[in-house]
């Protein structure tokens, strides 16, 4: 992971400043207690809390990530919510005055280490490499999203998503596979997301011109 660069942000695809190896964070974004890999981008008004964003992952704008590991080359559209915090349904009240008492002038300290915090922290979201999460999708606490999966816009993901699966809806359901099982197995063996930058650059023409099956056939040696 790389130290976060809090410098002025411009759109990395259209603005005067291109993406750099050091992470870029928009001046309106909030990043706390988190780590970011190389070539990562956090767009305008995003919030990333207690999370790891691995290499080449980007958040467009107005997206929130809490207590999650987001794999390499993840594509996260705007208004996505990853791991929204749940409320303690087992208590007499759902309200957070029981664990944020200072905010309501009910106690002289917050109960930051109580069962609610521990419960939330235990439900980390894990997102694999090369995942695409569509506009305004929600990934609920404790869910794992597999390698190469696609989550449709507006979906609410309440269960684990298998590798190379397309899901959509509320709650999200499987629409179809993204690739065949044989191609999936080959892509996992290739694991291009772990390639060096030089290898990625050399393969750019094939990423552009070959479909997944043809790419797998060429590089699965």
Q: Which residues are catalytic?
A: 87
Residue 56, exposed/middle/buried by CB under 10 A (0-12, 13-18, 19+)? buried
Angle separating helix axes 212-219 and 181-190, nearest 10 degrees: 50
Q: Are 177 and 166 in contact (CB under 8 A)?
A: yes
Vertex 46: Cα angle to 34 and 53 (nearest 5): 35
Residue 55, exposed/middle/buried by CB under 10 A (0-12, 13-18, 19+)? buried
State how far the Cα of 86 lies from the Cα of 90, in Å rounded to an integer.
Answer: 11
Q: Are 152 and 166 in contact (CB under 8 A)?
A: yes
Q: How many CB atoms lie within 10 A of CB 196?
A: 8
Token pair 């959509």 is at which residue?
A: 168
């Amino acid at each position: 992971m790389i130290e976060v660069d809090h410098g002025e942000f411009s759109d990395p695809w259209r603005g005067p400043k291109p993406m750099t190896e050091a992470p870029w964070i928009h001046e309106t974004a909030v990043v706390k207690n988190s780590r970011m890999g190389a070539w990562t981008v956090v767009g305008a008004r995003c919030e990333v809390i207690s999370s790891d964003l691995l290499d080449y992952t980007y958040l467009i704008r107005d997206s929130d990530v809490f207590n999650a590991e987001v794999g390499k080359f993840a594509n996260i559209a705007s208004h996505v919510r990853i791991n929204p915090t749940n409320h303690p349904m087992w208590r007499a009240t759902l309200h957070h005055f029981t664990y944020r008492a200072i905010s309501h002038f009910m106690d002289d300290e917050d109960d930051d280490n109580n069962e609610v915090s521990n419960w939330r922290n235990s439900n980390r979201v894990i997102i694999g490499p090369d995942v695409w999460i569509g506009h305004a999708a929600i990934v609920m606490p404790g869910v794992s999203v597999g390698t190469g999966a696609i989550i449709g816009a507006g979906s609410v993901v309440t269960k684990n998503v298998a590798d190379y699966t397309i899901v959509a809806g509320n709650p999200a359901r499987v629409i179809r596979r993204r690739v065949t099982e044989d191609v999936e197995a080959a892509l996992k063996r290739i694991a291009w997301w772990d390639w060096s930058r030089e290898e990625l650059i050399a393969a750019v023409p094939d990423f552009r011109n070959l479909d997944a099956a043809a790419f797998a056939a060429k590089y699965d040696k």
